[in-house]
Amino acid sequence: MGKILKVENLTKSYSNGDKTLTVLDKVSFDIEEGQTFAIVGPSGSGKTTLLGLCAGLDQVDSGEVELCGSRLSNLDENQRARLRNEHVGFVFQDFQLFPTLTALENVIVPLELRGEKNASKTGKELLEKVGLGDRWHHYPSQLSGGEKQRVAVARAFANRPAILFADEPTGNLDAETGEKVVKLLFDLNKEAGTTLVIVTHDLELAEKTQQIMRIKGGTIVDNQVASSW
């Protein structure tokens, strides 16, 4: 198995007026293909920023990120967008469904973006898999929190991504619903061989992954294989 994500000496800071805030400082790690990986840390530790940079959502100040064999610093914004569309999936804490699109339309956006035919058929199959086959025509406002996140999971797996980034996937859900969504994520990970990177401060969820990396104040404090594995 090769490395799907390699991060070397990644640094990112934001300036606010005269002040510069270093969010991530010389962070290095890598993730194997098909692995499940958790990034944990307290609020403000820089974990979500790290996730965004790994997914190519912004540019690093220094250091390098190599995702799916591509050095992100060599790619322009449009090329990074293409890389995400072809190889990356996302699940967000607050679901981030398009409120004006139906469940099915939300799921097929990544497929349509790649110009794939039969997107609707694939989308309905995915919704079926997450248990929402009969709710495809519903708008997000007509769905519960758990249902919304299941639609988001279906959308994340729609383009059969090589790597899926999940940002606090259970953060807005009650324990029972969260459990269901996590099971779904891990099941699909197994089924499709997708690498799963989860940002969370829910240690119970992190324990379910193969490797846990702890960060604090923008630096890695610990990076080890989970005890249960």
Partner 1 sequence: MVEKNQPQKPGFVWLLRMAWRDGRSSWNKILLFMLSTVLGIAAVVSIQSFGSNLKDNIALRSKALMGADYIIDSDDLPNERVNAIIDSLGGADAQEVNFASMAAFNTTEATKLVRVRGIEGGFPFYGELETQPEEAANNYQEQGAALVDATLMLQFGLEKGDTIHLGKVSLPIAGSLKSIPGSNAIFSSIAPPVAIPYRFIASSELIQTGSRVDYEYYFKDEANTDLERLDRELDPMLDAEGADLDTHLSTSQRLGRRYENFGKFLNLVAFIALLLGCVGIASAIHLYIKEKLPSIAVLKCLGASRAQTFKIFLIQVAFIGLMGGIIGTAAGIGLQFLFPALIKDLIPVQLELSVAPEAVIAGLLLGVSMSVLFALYPLIGTLYVSPLQALRVSHQPSARSKRSSVLVFVAIFASIFIISLWLLEDWQYSLAFMGGTIVTFAVLAGIAQLFIRSVRKYFPHHWNFEVRQSLLNLFRPNNQTLILVLAIGVGTFLISTLYFSRDLLLAEASIEGGSNSPNMILLDVQTGQEKEVLETIRSNDQPVLSNIPIVTMRVDELKGKPVREIRKDTSSTINRWILNHEFRTTYRDSLIDSETLEEGEFTREVTETNVIPISVSRDFAGDAEVSMGDTIRFNVQGKIMTTTIGSIRAVDWSRLQPNFSIVFPKGVLEQAPQFRVVTTKLPTEEASAKLQQKLVAKFPNVSILDLRQVLNVIEELLEKIAWIINFMASFSILTGIIVLLGAVRSSKYQRMRESVLLRTLGAKGKQVLRIVALEYLYLGILGALSGILLSLLGSQLLAWFVFDTTFSPSLFPFLVLLPGLTLLILIIGLSNSIGVIKSPPLEVLRKEAA
In one letter, which amino acid is 30? D
Q: Does 32 bind partner 1 (CB under 8 A)?
A: no
- The Cα 125–Cα 42 span in angstroms is 37
Residues between 123 and 152 that touch partner 1 (CB under 8 A): 139, 141
Q: Does 37 bind partner 1 (CB under 8 A)?
A: no
Q: Does 74 bind partner 1 (CB under 8 A)?
A: yes
CA distances from 151 to 40, 102, 107, 123, 197 (A): 25, 10, 7, 10, 19
- The Cα 82–Cα 208 span in angstroms is 31
Task: Choose between 101 and 226: whose C-beta lies nearer to partner 1.
Answer: 101
Provide the minimum distance between the beta carbon of 71 and partner 1 in the complex, in angstroms, as a whole number.
Answer: 9
C-alpha torsion 95→78→83→62, nearest 10: -90
- The Cα 53–Cα 84 span in angstroms is 12
Residues between 192 and 221 that touch partner 1 (CB under 8 A): none
- The Cα 69–Cα 187 span in angstroms is 25
- Per-residue x/- mask for partner 1, residues 78 to 107, rule CB under 8 A? xx-xxxxxx-x-x-xxx-x-xxxx---x--
- Candidates 36, 45, 49, 149; binder of partner 1 (CB under 8 A) is 49
Note the residues at the interface with partner 1 (CB under 8 A): 14-16, 48-49, 51-52, 55, 57-58, 68-70, 74-75, 77-79, 81-86, 88, 90, 92-94, 96, 98-101, 105, 109-110, 112-115, 139, 141, 155, 159, 167
